[in-house]
């Protein structure tokens, strides 16, 4: 959700409760990977159900991507204790 800026990948809204949606539903062989998971509001998630995006006419507003290592570290470091930072950056 942080990667998607807390916006629904289908309608772009950020004022609705958000969920994590499988682009290709798990029932159809979708996996739990960065590229197959997007932020979706509850409305879109319910509407999409177990359908493929093109079947239900719900194209993604952006292509899901795998965040870079740096992006991940930056996001996490904000929450880390100061004395852990040198170790995190080195690893």
Binding site for Zn ion (CB under 5 A): 8, 10-11, 41, 44
C-alpha 28/C-alpha 90 separation (Å) is: 40
Nearer to Zn ion, 38 or 41 (CB): 41
CB of 63 to Zn ion, least distance (A): 16
Nearer to Zn ion, 11 or 56 (CB): 11
CB of 13 to Zn ion, least distance (A): 5
Nearer to Zn ion, 47 or 73 (CB): 47
CB of 18 to Zn ion, least distance (A): 8
30: Cβ contacts below 8 Å, ≥ 6 apart: 22, 23, 24, 36
DSSP string, 42-64: HHHHHHHTT--TTTTT---SS--
Neighbour tally for 60: CB within 10 Å: 13
């Amino acid at each position: 959700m942080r990667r998607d800026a807390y916006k629904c990948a289908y309608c772009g809204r950020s004022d609705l409760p958000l969920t994590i949606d499988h682009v290709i539903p798990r029932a159809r062989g979708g996996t739990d990977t960065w590229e197959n998971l997007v932020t979706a509001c509850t409305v879109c998630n319910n509407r999409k159900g177990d359908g493929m995006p093109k079947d239900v006419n719900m194209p993604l507003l952006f292509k899901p991507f795998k965040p870079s290592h740096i992006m991940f570290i930056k996001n996490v470091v904000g929450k880390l204790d100061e004395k852990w930072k040198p170790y995190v950056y080195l690893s």
